[in-house]
Structure 1
Amino acid sequence: MTLRGLEDADLDTLFEFMRDPESVRMAAFTAKDPNDREAFDAHMRRIRANPETMNHVILGDGQVVGSIASFVMEGDTEITYWIDRAVWGQGVAGRAVALLLDLVSTRPLHARVATDNAASLRVLTRAGFEIVGTDVGYAEARKAEIEETILVLN
């Protein structure tokens, strides 16, 4: 498995991953309408233009199986990832996080995850992130406020 920079040709694949209903439910904090391609494209243009954001696709056997990024929000560097549901449970997220941690030297590094997303919590804690608190936020995918776990890697 490898990471490479995000390319225009990857956008169709990522859009499909990010509109899968089960993936959207698990991620919770998503676009208002995951099927809105114009909104997706506008978001991708915005984040790709930001010099503080590092966007990668995750390649497994030469195929795009997800995306992973670091970005700055309110002065904190955070990571985020999205894995194709077809490869959930195969260690893709854990390997991708480890590869990204080799590329991003900023510490502390932050992450947030829906508290009921046990798989992502496991990925992050195995990578060395520690739970430092929780917050409640509105999750578009669930149309409700839910608890979010806040993690930090020092």
Structure 2
Amino acid sequence: MTLETDRLTLRYWEESDAEDLYKYASDPDVGPIAGWPAHRSLDESLDIIKNVFSGKEAYAICLKEDGKAIGAIELKLNGRTDMTNRDDECEIGYWLGKPFWGQGIMSEAVREMLRHAFEDCGMQKVWVGYYEGNIKSKRVQEKCGFKYQWKSENVNVPLLNEKRTGHVSLMTKEDWLSRK
């Protein structure tokens, strides 16, 4: 499946995206703030495409002008998230390559994924989280209309073997409809 916005194409990951993924995911300013280690090799990026970005609703964020992957966005359905165990709720997760920060790209991608979640996937709620200090992710959530729910101390960040403070927000279908 492919989703489109004015500037972006959101499409399934392909093995041929490994080089572009590595280019942005190897930046230490990108992954660790979101809870995952910077990629150390092209092979690791290829493995991530095959085994992590393999979810039914996992998409590469691509600029329409060249089709190259510059980030990732996923609706983490029941079984791929610890935020809900319901089939009509999911969690959204995302990251973007550093050269593309501050251009409204992620807010544009998140808005399209919310539309897709509520209109195409039948979701009633979309959960989202960020770790303390990830101001960019917090700002995207605010711009897209998520409502802050709670803060949790000592949240496990298993991929980095540490604990952090986590923040959780929510978008309901009703809230989304009222913003359209």
Uncovered stretches (5+) of structure 2, i.e. residues with no partner: 1-6, 173-180
Structure showing greater Rg: 2
1:93-142 alpha-carbon deviations (Å, 9 max, x no partner): 11111111121121210111112111111101211111111223234677
Uncovered stretches (5+) of structure 1, i.e. residues with no partner: none
8 Å contact from structure 1 (residues 68, 80) kept in 2: yes
State how 1:3-152 maps to structure 2 within 5 Å.
Answer: 3-27=10-34, 29-31=35-37, 34-35=39-40, 40-50=45-55, 53-60=56-63, 61-62=65-66, 63-72=68-77, 73-74=81-82, 75=85, 76-105=89-118, 106-135=123-152, 136-139=154-157, 144-152=162-170
Q: Using structure 2 for the length normalisation, give the TM-score.
A: 0.72
1:56-95 alpha-carbon deviations (Å, 9 max, x no partner): 1112232322111111224251111110101111111111
The answer to which structure has the higher strand fraction is 1
Number of residue pairs matched by the alignment: 150
Identity between Structure 1 and Structure 2 (%): 19
Structure 1 residue matching 2:29: 3-state secondary structure: helix
Q: Using structure 1 for the length normalisation, give the TM-score.
A: 0.82
Kindly report the root-mean-square deviation, in angstroms, between the aligned alpha carbons of the 2 structures: 2.4
